[in-house]
Amino acid sequence: MQMNSSVRLQRILLLCLLLCYPLSLVIPLAWSFENGIIENAQVAVLLAGLVLAGRAWRLGSKDGAAMLGLCALPVWFLLASRELSWGAVFLPPLGFGPEGPVFSSRVLPYRPLVPAIAGLLVLASLVVGWRHGVHRYLKRVVAGGGFPWLCVVIVLGAALGSTAGEGHVPAFARDWVAHSQVLEEMSELVGYMALVLAQGVVLRYRAPVKTPVSKRAAESIN
């Protein structure tokens, strides 16, 4: 039942990704502004991923799944912080342009420290994951057929949609996909949702129970 529901959710997200382009033609541009509806939804999704990862670590038995949740915490924190421009969105905007209010993290006094702090958090996550065998747990998930590959496809598709929304498309496609901030932000939202779903599937993975073969059945096979 769990597997069926996760596959169903992945297919729904794939449909949402495909709908990003037609919806971007009708959704108001204001929804994609900094601190707008879509960007706030992105932050909410990322914080949900952080909370779920923390819950898996706090309530888990400190096995591979629980430690994977711990290792994911810095990643969610950095993604959410990036969407908040490292805190710049909580300050008054520097101005207003065609794409809404303008915020810049360059005005933050701690901005030069962000790359170093982000690097240390990622390094700590990798070290903890290696020491606690998170990579072996992930191998078991993949070998057991429990890895949500469709989520990977959705994230890659979302990255392409975001890139197209920024206007980085080949010349032959520019007539179909013009610069669209709405498409960019909606694609990112779906991609983040796919990441949260992928995390949930991997953290809740349970290896299939092998049914013991009775002695009489084994003899009949032989």
Q: What is the DSSP string of 148-211?
A: -HHHHHHHHHHHHHHHHHTT---GGGTTTS---HHHHHHHHHHHHHHHHHHHHHHHT--PPPPP
Q: What is the pLDDT of residue 215?
A: 47
Query: What percent of the chain is modeled with pLDDT above 70?
Result: 86
Residue 100 banded pLDDT, cuts 50, 70, 90: confident
Whether the per-residue pLDDT at 89 is higher than 50: the answer is: yes
Cα–Cα distance for residue pair 17/13, rounded to 1 Å: 6
- Give the number of other CB atoms < 10 A from CB of residue 37: 15
Taking residues 40-52, report their average pLDDT: 97
Most confident of 80-89, 178-187, 208-217: 80-89
Whether the per-residue pLDDT at 209 is higher than 90: the answer is: no
Cα–Cα distance for residue pair 207/69, rounded to 1 Å: 18
Residue 199 banded pLDDT, cuts 50, 70, 90: very high
Q: Which residue did the predictor score with more confidence, 80 or 34?
A: 80
Most confident of 3-12, 74-83, 172-181: 74-83
Taking residues 205-219, report their average pLDDT: 57
Residue type, 170: P
Q: pLDDT tens digits for 106-121?
A: 999 999 999 999 999 9
Taking residues 7-25, report their average pLDDT: 94
CB 32 within 8 A of CB 162: no
- pTM of the prediction? 0.88
Taking residues 54-59, report their average pLDDT: 92
Whether the per-residue pLDDT at 1 is higher than 50: the answer is: no
| Mean pLDDT, all residues of the chain | 87
Q: Which residue did the predictor score with more confidence, 59 or 157?
A: 157
